[in-house]
Structure 1
């Protein structure tokens, strides 16, 4: 008899944890021992991809209402309708794809089955994206925590008193398109031409949501420090309707910077990563960003901060540089060093690709995923 699982996500935005879950589910779809449904609190651009894999429900669906009171009533009726449909499916297990789903844990616990929480957050993300009372519900009602990286596991143990025997570390899946990606100089030339970047320019890239946790302000500061050098900076991610996106655009204008650009989120991210000469991970905190794995697969040297997540474990001493936390001056120095030493850039990139392929074998990662799903934990 197949094990029936409900996977619960916060949204379907094109971001790391949402993409990673989708990759696991695409593999799980063909496994004979499991059947599953997806519940998302909100929609997003990946929604149709989720729907192609399995039945997908939206918990907070307000598309059919206008006005505050109407939305409240509509949201309540939609939630009840979705919950009533799902509860008839008699799930054996719920897997919540984030620590930030505590606001719906009262609903999830009513299903009467064990709940596992797949954790993609470190301390900064926990404090930024969830309320203490909601976070406590997650801690109290989770039978097993799945950590996306060792740094996440250690944070749960050291900061929140979670027993190590209640945590499994699950290696990330590598995107097949990145493994087999073929560099195309024409794509790089096209991207640079469209953005007004000289074709021969040395390009430092960053990628991800435009927010303070991702260190976009630090990325901008490094670009400012190196404005007089023959170096361009490109951040890919976010959208122009975000307040932060506009704030940083205004910062660039007021500082008079000419060689830093912001590009909204794109579906062909690998083409942009391929155009980078260096991948600059300026995040204050990033548990184990998939974009770093993609950059490594595309043989890019990577620079990141210490104490900012799991990327430093991949980079080590032969994949780039790990800089003291928030030391923008030192990060700028290393950018200059790599620009001046293209052979070291090449060596770092080759080492990163070799290492990421060794650490993130798809068969081993998926086997660990299914082993975790078969773990027996009693519901409270």
Structure 2
């Protein structure tokens, strides 16, 4: 079996990093090891028999150990750790998950290890994620193979001159949904003032379409319908702006339950009449698969991989920003 190191930048609850969890948790022909750029919550859900490491330049290392180790003149912690991982686990190949891979590139160059790239981004995200052209050029041209999470992603990689490009659609663990204890009746009783419930799940971010929730709510108000957005709050200006508009204008048909997990998350998702994908750009959203498994109609902007998934009878895809 091949010994493979998976590098992922955050190991948080994003679709791309959920895929790392699914792959390593179900792998039976490889020996996986994980190196994360940050101490993400998803690391706690990795099976205990799989070794996990946190990059020394993460926040937790900087504040707890960084100063002490600098005093001891152990400056290049990343190289020390990487060398130890390579040797201890006899790593043969590295899988770089997403293009947001700033911390791993110098180590790959230093130790000259072969790598493959698992890409979840469409070109619009390159700028939004701060992906520099030098790093993008290095990753595309030096990878032994490139995996795209949808046809749209593979097409963009091929246009850049990528070689050995393969498609591997993102997936979900349906057992997690099957085993959930839905409390849909309770959720619907909280929302019984509305005729229909439309639900979106994702980061409260611009590229996810959070900036148009006010406009959507105005349209839904005509039909006494509500928008539920499942996703964590944050400290950025857009989130603050939307929350203040809701408060100052007494908007009651935008419901923001926050970041939910497990039974509670699936109960809210199952309580909706339809799933609303508001993303400006989304390569192949996992929440779309979850909604489909729950047999919810999907209404989406033409934002990427959704066009490869939603077929006739499953919902409707409309041009971006066509709220009506």
TM above 0.5, yes or no, is: yes
Pairing of 1:180-191 with structure 2 (within 5 A) = 180=178, 184=182, 187-191=183-187
d(CA) in 1 for partners of 2:48, 2:184: 31
CA RMSD, Structure 1 to Structure 2 (Å) = 2.5
Query: Which blocks of at least 5 consecutive residues in structure 1 are unaligned?
Result: 330-380
Q: Which runs of 5+ in 2 are unaligned?
A: none
Within 1, Cα distance between the matches of 2:75 and 2:195? Answer: 54
What is the Cα deviation at residue 325 of structure 1?
A: 2.1
| CA deviation map 1:144-199 (0-9, x unaligned) | 110111111011123x2224xx1010133331225635774xx1232345xx5227
Task: Decide whether the 8 Å contact of 1:188 with 1:275 is kept in 2.
Answer: yes
**Match in the other structure for 1:61:** 58
Paired residue for 1:149?
A: 150
User: Which of 201, 204, 215 matches 2:209?
Assistant: 215
Q: CA deviation at 1:44?
A: 1.6
Give the secondary-structure state (helix, strand or coil) at the position aligned to 1:280: strand
Question: How much does 1:140 deviate?
Answer: 2.6
Partner of 1:173: 171
1:304 and 1:149 map into 2 onto residues whose CA distance is: 17
Shift of 1:246: 2.5
Deviations 1:270-323 (A, max 9, x none): 2221011110001000000011000000000001112x1111221122210010
Shift of the alpha carbon at 1:230?
1.5
Stretches of 4+ aligned residues off by more than 3 angstroms: 64-67, 69-78, 181-184, 240-244
Q: How has the CA–CA distance of structure 1 residues 65 and 171 changed in structure 2, closer, same or farther, with 3 Å as cutoff?
A: closer
Q: Secondary structure at the match of 1:79?
A: helix
- Partner Cα separation in structure 2 for residue 327 and residue 200 of structure 1: 23
Q: What's 1:237 paired with?
A: 231
In the aligned structure 2, how far is the partner of 1:72 from the partner of 1:287?
41
> Alpha-carbon deviation of 1:128?
1.3
TM-score by length of 1: 0.76
Partner of 1:348: none
CA distance in 2 between partners of 1:218 and 1:92 (Å): 46
Looking at secondary structure, tell me which structure has more helix per residue: 1
CA distance 1:148–1:12, change in 2 (3 Å): same
What SS is found at the alignment partner of 1:286?
coil
Task: For 1:100 and 1:208, locate their aligned partners in 2 and report how far apart those are by CA, in whole Å.
Answer: 19
Q: How many Å separate the matches in 1 of 2:225 and 2:193?
A: 12
Task: Figure out how many residues of one structure are paired with residues of the other and give that number.
Answer: 316
1:301 has 2:297 as partner: yes
Residues 100, 134 of structure 1: 8 Å contact kept: no
Tell me the secondary structure at the aligned position of residue 54 of structure 1: coil
Q: CA deviation at 1:218?
A: 2.3
| Counterpart pick for 2:198 among 182, 198, 204 | 204
Map of 2:320 onto structure 1: 325
Partner residue of 1:111? 111
